[in-house]
A and B are shown apart, each in its own frame.
Chain A
Amino acid sequence: MKETDSSAEMKDKSSVIIDALGTLGEFTLKTGRNVFSMFGGMFLLLGETATVTSKGLLIQEQRIGSEAIFTQMVRVGVKAIPIVILIQLAIGMILPLQMFPMLDEFGQSDQIATINAIAGFRELGPLMTAVVLCGFAGASIAAELGTMVTAEEIEALKASALNPIRFLVVPRMLATLIMTVMLTVIANVVMIASGMLTAINLGIDADTYFKLTIEAVEVSGFVTGLVKAAVFGLLIGLIACFLGLSVKPWEGSEGVGRATTRTVVYGIVAVIFADAIFTLIFYSYGLFD
C-alpha cells in the first residue's frame, strides 16, 4: 500500500514536470501566435485605414467627416497640453543644469543652448509628447472603443452598413497623428524657453543662447523631429484602435481595462523602439552631421 503510494507520488512528480514543460511550450507557442496575430491584425487595420482615408481624401468616394476629426483632436490633444508644457518646462531646466558644470570647465557653457536644442527638437520633444499622449489619447481611445464593443455598438454600426473603420478608426488615428505633431511643436518651444531661462540664470546671454539654438536645430532637425512625431502619433492611434476593437463583447469591463493598460504599455514600447530605429536610420544617412 505504501509502495504504491510513493510510486504514485513519483509519477505525480515527473508528470508535474512534464506538465510544466508542456505548459511552457504551449505558452511560448501561444505567445508567439498571439504576437504574430497582433502584428498581422494591426497591419491589416493600418492598411484598411489607409485605403479608407485615401478614398476619402483623394477621390472622395467615401465621406470622412472633418468635424469628427476635429472633435477627436480636441478630445485627444487639448487636455494633454498643460501636461506637455509642465514636463517640458522641467526637462528644459534639467539638461542645462546637468551639463553646465562640465561645459563650464572647458569654457563652453554657451553650448548648453546647442545641447538643449538638439536634444529637444530631435529627441525629447517628440518622445515626451508621445509618451504623454499614450496615456491621454491612447488610453481613452482604447477604453472608448472597447466599451463600444461590449455595448454591441460596433455590431450595430456594422449592421447599419456603417464601416467602423471609416467611422471610428480614421478620425481617431488622424487626430492622434495631427495632435502629436502639434503638441511636439509646443513641447519644443517650451523646452527652448525653459532652457533659455535657466541659461540666463546661469549667466549666459539670451541673444547668444537664441543664436546658438537656431544654428543647432536647422530645418532638418526641426523636420525630422516632426516626422518622428507623426509616426509616433500614428503608432499610438493604431495600437489604441486595434486593442480597443479587439475586446470581445463578452469580456466586459475587464476586457476594456486590459485593453487600456496594454495600449499604454505597448504604446510606450512601440514609440521608443520606433525612435531607436529612426535614430539608427538618421545616423547612418549622416543626417546628424
Chain B
Amino acid sequence: MSEASGKQPVIEVTDMAKSFGSQRVLDGINLKVYAGEIMVVMGGSGCGKSTLLRHLIGSIAPDEGTVKLFGNDITKMSEKELDDVRKKFGILFQSGALFNSLSVGENVALLLREHTNLDEATIDIIVKIKLELVGLRKHTEKMPAQLSGGMKKRAGLARAIALDPQILFYDEPGAGLDPVTSAQINQLIIDLTKKLNVTSLVVTHEMDSAFMLADRMCMLDKGKILKMGTRHDFEVLRDRTGELKSEQERLVRQFLRGDAEGPITERQLASDYEEDLLMAHKRC
C-alpha cells in the first residue's frame, strides 16, 4: 500500500503550481496515491484544497507541473481524451453540484443513460441501489431544491458512484451532516475503497473523519504540502506531548488537535494587523 510496494500510482501529481492573479494558490505540489488507498488531504479554509481537486479532474490546468491519472498526463490531453478518463472517476463537489433541473433519481440516471448502453429497467435498478447506499431511496422523485444541504451531499455522492468509478474524489463529504450520517458516509467510502479496490482522495476538515478514513494523510498549507505520512504518523504527532522542535510539526499538531493556541494563531496575529490599522487611521 505504500511507496515501497513499487506499484504504479493511480494519481500522481508532480511539481504542480498554480496562481490566480498574483496569489500563488498551489506551489510545488507532489502527491502520489496508490490503488485501493484512501488519501486524506487536510488544510485550513482557503488553503487550496478544492483548487487541488479541480486540477485532478482536469477542470483547470496547472501553470507548472503534471497531473497523471492511471499513468497518463491529463494536462496534455484533448477534451475528448479527457472525457474518456473522466468516465473512470467520480467526484463529490463541496456544494453537491446537483443538476438542479433534474430530480435526484434523474441526476444519477443521467450518467448511466449517457455513458452506458443499459436499458431503462436496468438503469432504474442501479439508481435505486446507489440511492439506497446513501440513504436517499425514498427521495428519488424530489428535486434538488427540495433537499437539505446534507441530502444534496448524499445525492451528489450517489451520482459520483453511478458509473462504478475507479477513482473517487470527495470534497468535504461529511460537512453539514449529522454525526451518524457522517459516520455512515465514511463507512461507505471505506467499503467502496476496500471492497471494490477504488482509489479515494478525500478532502476534509473533520479530524474524526480524517483519522477514520485515512490510509495516508497530508496537510496542505499556503499552497505547499507541509507534512505527508501514514495515519499512524499523524496519530503519533497528534498525541505527542511537550514542546516540538520544528515549527512545521507544531503547526500540524495544532491543526490535528484543533487547539485555539499555537503557531497558526500566532501567524494570523503576527501578520500586518497593527500596520493595517495604522494605515486605516492615517487615511481618515
> Residues of A with Cβ closer than 8 Å to B?
63, 147-148, 151-153, 155-163
Contacts and interface: CB of A to CB of B under 8 A. Distances in A.
Contact of A157 (B54, B58, B95, B99): B99
Interface stretch (B22-30, B39-47, B86-94, B271-279): B86-94
B93 A161 contact: no
A152 B99 CA distance: 9
A162 B114 contact: yes
Contacts of B246: none
B71 to A, nearest CB: 19
Q: Which 5 A-B pairs have the closest CB atoms?
A: A152-B97, A161-B86, A161-B83, A156-B97, A159-B57
Interface in B43-102: 54, 57-59, 82-84, 86-87, 91, 93, 95, 97-100
Contacts, number: 44
Nearest to B85: A161
B31 interface: no
B115 interface: yes
A151 B59 contact: no
Contact of A155 (B84, B97, B100): B97
A156 B159 CA distance: 10
B111 interface: yes
A158 B111 CA distance: 12
A151 B100 CA distance: 9
Nearest to A63: B114
A152 B111 contact: no
A157 B86 CA distance: 10
A256 to B, nearest CB: 13
Contacts of B87: 161
Contact of A148 (B86, B100, B110, B111): B100
A155 B95 CA distance: 12
Contacts of A151: 95, 97, 100
A269 to B, nearest CB: 30
Contacts of B100: 147-148, 151, 153
Given A153-B100, A156-B97, 16 more contacts: A147-B100, A151-B97, A153-B97, A155-B54, A155-B93, A156-B91, A158-B59, A159-B58, A159-B86, A159-B91, A160-B110, A160-B159, A161-B82, A161-B84, A162-B111, A162-B114
